[in-house]
């Protein structure tokens, strides 16, 4: 297991290229199950989560060819040879539960392991199951697996989600595109990831109206065909690297970034005193190293609200702000595990339930810290960039799940950062 060592304190300047979106890429890959023709995906991020899902899809009979060192992929599900998604893989990657909708749409049957809990919360799948039941699936939970079948195929239904779930919206959408009749999905996710999935499905021949609004109408078609689709830019990677020059001072252009996909973060960062400018090639984020950012309050919410996946990074930024910021996490019940690690670096944070009060300090100090999940790990690296002295982050395999070339990208803008093998 590797560790990342950061020697912080200096400003960052230069450019960072932003990769394709992890959360989109994984759902696009699952959509390949819906057709017997090849689906070509471009602008794919090279991440361990993508490799894990590749293994699962291959176990179901999908042939996966990686081109350009993984930046493009061709997925061919000519035949689905196995309808069971095993626990070994689903427990490692929750997004792999999103083979469920496509498998039900294509085959009318599937056996998928329940994902189980995860570090940031219980993360139930009841909405995924009830929406498929509404489309006529019979569901049985046995020995940790969902056994689902729909004799004669799925039928269109009207489904209103009680609250927004990205994963459940996407599973229901993928199931509905091949169902008989019309499905109306209400209170759906409007996340760019879900919208991009809908666009890809439409390029494959699906009939979908309303992607990006809170109601989607899906008229089932007999079959989908192959397509070539470009995965969108990763707004979470973009937001993460926007916070880097904000926490250290300096000026960094995030290549490929646009304001629209990170508007909620950009608004908060400007309120905190950071300058953000859109250029022809990306977004430039600037902060004078001789000033401090101001504390701003943040509440996470479904898109277009402030993303839960940027809460940990924003907390790192608030650790060095003037004043006290209140951060409220409304999506997951246990998503402040980075707080005790930031406290080890000198941060002042009080957490009660789903609220964290962060009082800024003049300087963070480097310390050995432990990554607990993907976004928590990157928040510790951001804090390390601003801290005096050396920060050693262990368990960096969490980072490899969702960030490409962390060390290379940060060195490119002047950070002192290294990755070493853990003894
Ligand atoms: C969520 C985030 C997504 C983020 C991803 C990875 C939201 C709305 N979703 O997506 O932005 O990229 O995590 O960190 O911000 N829930 C149930 N029953 C269900 C499904 C969900 O109770 O059947 C609950 C979850 O436990 C959670 C909330 O609903 O509290 C939202 O979950 P959901 O959007 O489905 O999670 P992800 O798809 O993982």
pLDDT in tens, 310-334: 999 999 999 999 999 999 999 998 8
Q: Rounded distance, CA 339 to CA 336, Å? A: 5
Report how far ligand 1's centroid is from the alpha carbon of 85 (Å). 20
Q: What pLDDT score does 205 carry?
A: 98
Report how far ligand 1's centroid is from the alpha carbon of 332 (Å). 8
Confidence of residue 296 (pLDDT cuts 50, 70, 90): very high
Q: What pLDDT score does 120 carry?
A: 64
Q: Rounded distance, CA 131 to CA 156, Å? A: 10
Q: What pLDDT score does 117 carry?
A: 61
Q: Rounded distance, CA 388 to CA 10, Å? A: 9
pLDDT reading at 357 higher than 90: yes
Q: Which atom of ligand 1 is nearest to the CA of 95?
A: 39
Nearest CA to ligand 1 atom 19: 125
Pocket test for ligand 1, best of 93, 96, 116, 123 (most atoms within 8 A of CB): 123
Question: Over pLDDT 90: what percentage of the chain?
Answer: 93
Q: Which atom of ligand 1 is nearest to the CA of 128?
A: 23
Report how far ligand 1's centroid is from the alpha carbon of 114 (Å). 15
For residues 402 and 413, the answer to whether their CB atoms sit within 8 Å is no
What's the average model confidence in pLDDT over 145-162? Answer: 96
For residues 312 and 120, the answer to whether their CB atoms sit within 8 Å is no
Q: How far is CA 130 from CA 95, 184, 321, 409, in A?
A: 18, 14, 44, 43
Q: What pLDDT score does 423 carry?
A: 63
pLDDT reading at 422 higher than 90: no
Q: What pLDDT score does 421 carry?
A: 87
pLDDT reading at 382 higher than 70: yes
Q: For 367-395, what is the HEC assignment?
A: CEEECCCHHHHHHHHHHHHHCEEEEEEEC
pTM, two decimals, is 0.96
Which of 30-39, 95-104, 122-131, 205-214 is the least confident region? Answer: 122-131
Residue 118 a catalytic site member: yes
Q: What pLDDT score does 126 carry?
A: 94
pLDDT reading at 402 higher than 70: yes
Nearest CA to ligand 1 atom 32: 165
Nearest CA to ligand 1 atom 26: 123
Kindly report the average pLDDT of the chain as a whole number.
96
pLDDT reading at 59 higher than 80: yes
Pocket-forming residues, ligand 1, beta carbon under 6 Å: 23, 121-128, 164-168, 191, 302, 307-309, 331-332
**Contacts within 8 Å (CB) and 24+ apart, 124-130:** 125/97, 125/167, 125/168, 127/161, 127/162, 127/165, 127/168, 128/97, 128/100, 128/101, 128/165, 128/167, 128/168, 128/171, 128/172
For residues 246 and 317, the answer to whether their CB atoms sit within 8 Å is yes
What's the average model confidence in pLDDT over 147-156? Answer: 96
Which of 104-118, 161-175, 184-198 is the least confident region? Answer: 104-118
For residues 28 and 41, the answer to whether their CB atoms sit within 8 Å is yes
Report how far ligand 1's centroid is from the alpha carbon of 166 (Å). 6
Q: What pLDDT score does 116 carry?
A: 67
Confidence of residue 280 (pLDDT cuts 50, 70, 90): very high
pLDDT tens by residue, 215-273: 999 999 999 999 999 999 999 999 999 999 999 999 999 999 999 999 999 999 999 99
Confidence of residue 119 (pLDDT cuts 50, 70, 90): low
Nearest CA to ligand 1 atom 10: 166
Confidence of residue 123 (pLDDT cuts 50, 70, 90): confident
Q: What pLDDT score does 9 carry?
A: 84
CA 6 to chain centre: 24
Nearest CA to ligand 1 atom 9: 166
- Residue from 107, 118, 174, 200 carrying the catalytic annotation: 118
pLDDT reading at 185 higher than 90: yes
């Amino acid at each position: 297991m590797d560790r990342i060592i950061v020697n912080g304190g200096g400003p960052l300047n230069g450019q960072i290229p932003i990769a394709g979106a992890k959360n989109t890429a994984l759902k696009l890959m699952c959509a390949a199950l819906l057709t017997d023709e090849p689906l070509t995906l471009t602008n794919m991020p090279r991440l361990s989560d993508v490799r894990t899902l590749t293994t699962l899809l291959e176990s179901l009979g999908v042939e996966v060819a990686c081109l350009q060192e993984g930046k493009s992929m061709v997925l061919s599900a000519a035949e689905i040879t196995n309808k069971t998604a095993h626990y070994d893989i689903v427990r490692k990657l929750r997004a792999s539960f999103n083979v469920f909708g496509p498998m039900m749409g294509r085959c009318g049957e599937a056996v998928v392991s329940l994902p189980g809990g995860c570090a940031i919360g219980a993360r139930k799948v009841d909405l995924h199951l009830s929406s498929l039941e509404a489309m006529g699936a019979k569901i049985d939970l046995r020995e940790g697996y969902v056994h689902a079948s729909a004799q004669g195929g799925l039928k269109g239904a009207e489904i209103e989600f009680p609250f927004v779930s990205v994963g459940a919206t996407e599973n229901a959408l993928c199931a509905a595109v091949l169902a008989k009749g019309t499905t109306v999905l209400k209170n759906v996710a409007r996340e760019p990831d879900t919208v991009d999935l809908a666009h890809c499905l439409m390029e494959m021949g699906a009939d979908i109206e309303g992607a990006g609004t809170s109601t989607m109408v899906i008229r089932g078609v007999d079959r989908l065909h192959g397509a070539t689709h470009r995965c969108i830019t990763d707004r979470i990677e973009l937001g993460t690297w926007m916070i880097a020059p904000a926490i250290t001072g300096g000026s960094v252009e995030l290549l490929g970034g646009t304001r629209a996909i990170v508007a909620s973060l950009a608004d908060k960062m400007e309120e905190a005193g950071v300058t953000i400018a859109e250029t022809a090639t990306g977004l430039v984020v600037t902060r004078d190293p001789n000033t401090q950012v101001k504390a701003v309050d943040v509440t996470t919410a479904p898109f277009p609200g402030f993303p839960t996946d940027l809460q940990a990074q924003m907390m790192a930024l608030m650790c060095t702000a003037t004043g006290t910021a209140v951060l409220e996490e409304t999506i997951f019940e246990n998503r402040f595990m980075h707080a005790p690690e930031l406290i080890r670096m000198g941060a002042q944070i009080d957490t009660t339930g789903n609220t964290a009060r962060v009082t800024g300090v003049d300087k963070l100090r480097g310390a050995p810290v432990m990554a607990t999940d993907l976004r928590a790990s990157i928040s510790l690296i951001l804090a390390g960039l601003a801290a005096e002295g050396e920060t050693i982050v262990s368990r960096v395999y969490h980072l490899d799940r969702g960030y490409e070339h962390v060390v290379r990208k940060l060195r490119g803008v002047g950070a002192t950062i290294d990755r070493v093998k853990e003894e």
